[in-house]
Amino acid sequence: MSLFPDPPGIDTVRLAAYLRDALPGADQAAELAGPLRGELIEGGRSNLTYRLTDGATRWVLRRPPLGHVLPTAHDMGREYRVIRALRDTGVPVPGTWLLCTDPEVIGSPFYLMDEVPGVVLRGVGHDPLTREQAERCGRTLVDVLVALHAVDPAEVGLADFGKPDGYLVRQVAIWHKQWQRSVTRELPGLQRLHDRLAGAVPDSGRAGIVHGDYRLDNVMFDPAVTRVLAVLDWEMCTLGDPLADVGLLHVYTVLAEQGARPGGGLEPGSGFPPAGQLTAWYAEATGVDLAQLDWYIAFAYYKLAIILEGIHARFLAGKTVGRDFETVGAMVPHLVEQGLSAAGE
């Protein structure tokens, strides 16, 4: 029996036994410095993230949620692969230790990475920022996204990581199927939004690496909040149209401005740049035409509504771990309404 209570989702005794044999750098079973302890990192609403320590070394473990895992979602292997691929680029990512695909160890596949000693800006839990710091955070966030989209997938071994051709058409259809698998109530506006998007898919430009959930609280800043130490939560990364990331960042920023903050973000009035400024900086840095950005914004509302509806379904089934999940379902109709507005309805 463990000397410390385990958080839901991991068994530290079984995990410690596995790590003794699997940790890299040892010719024989590695000795942990002490009993393995785990702590759930609050804030994530999809994959689960834990701090681990044996008293000497600290790691972070990522695993899928406990229930209602949608097909194609929560693929630990893909997330681990992209982090390793980006480690020698200008995109900051955590160091990685290992990927375990055996569900017998803790009940699901998982991977282990370095703990990055930084700050996640979720609106709470950190010292208030000056307006200058908040503005710099926004500019830095855009600069890192520009760096990600500038990476050539083939040069980092990710040429086969996705199918860029037809990406947007597939995304609209895939998320529609995900919604159908998560239905808990009538949401007729979501079907209308789907139809609007499917009937007006824009032509994509240059394909690139799409993070899939790029936002302020999915990056780790240094304690002085001057630079990004690591981009986190790569579970939805693929190859496709980079403007999908721009549209989603725009939506998360608008929601934070409204005080909703389903994806974290700073308090309204903090000095964090408005969504329009972020997209203007992106366009200036890349030269990309944002004439059709409204479609990507509408798609971002659509995608986020379906993600939150899936989380709401897990909450109703008693399969969520952490706090504040009871409020997620109430956000979905609002997101659908905003998506319809962005789509011109």
The pLDDT, as a whole number, for residue 266 is 81
Q: What is the pLDDT of residue 152?
A: 97
What is the pLDDT averaged over residues 286-306?
96
Each residue's pLDDT tens digit, 71-94: 445 589 999 999 999 999 999 999
- What is the tens place of the pLDDT at every residue in 98-142? 999 999 999 999 999 999 999 988 755 566 889 999 999 999 999
- Order of strands across the sheet that contains 110-114: 37-40, 48-53, 58-63, 110-114, 96-100
| Span 20-49, pLDDT tens digits | 889 876 555 567 888 899 999 876 556 889
- Percent share of the chain, pLDDT over 70: 89
Q: Is the pLDDT of residue 171 over 90?
A: yes
Domains of the chain: 12-114 (3.30.200.20), 131-342 (3.90.1200.10)
| Chain mean pLDDT for the chain | 88
| Buried/exposed code over 322-341 (b: 16+ C-beta within 10 A; e: otherwise) | eeebeebbebbebbbebbbe
Query: What would the two tokens of residue 134 be?
Result: 């908040």
- Which helix (H) or strand (E) segment is 99 a member of? strand 96-100
pLDDT of residue 210: 98
Comparing 9 with 31, the larger pLDDT belongs to 9
Q: Please report, to the nearest 10 degrees, the dihedral formed by the alpha carbons of residues 342, 218, 271, 331 taken in order.
A: 40
Picking from 145, 160, 154, the residue whose alpha carbon sits closest to that of residue 90 is 145
Measured CA to CA, the distance from residue 90 to residue 146 in angstroms comes to: 10
Return d(Cα 302, Cα 195) in angstroms, integer.
11
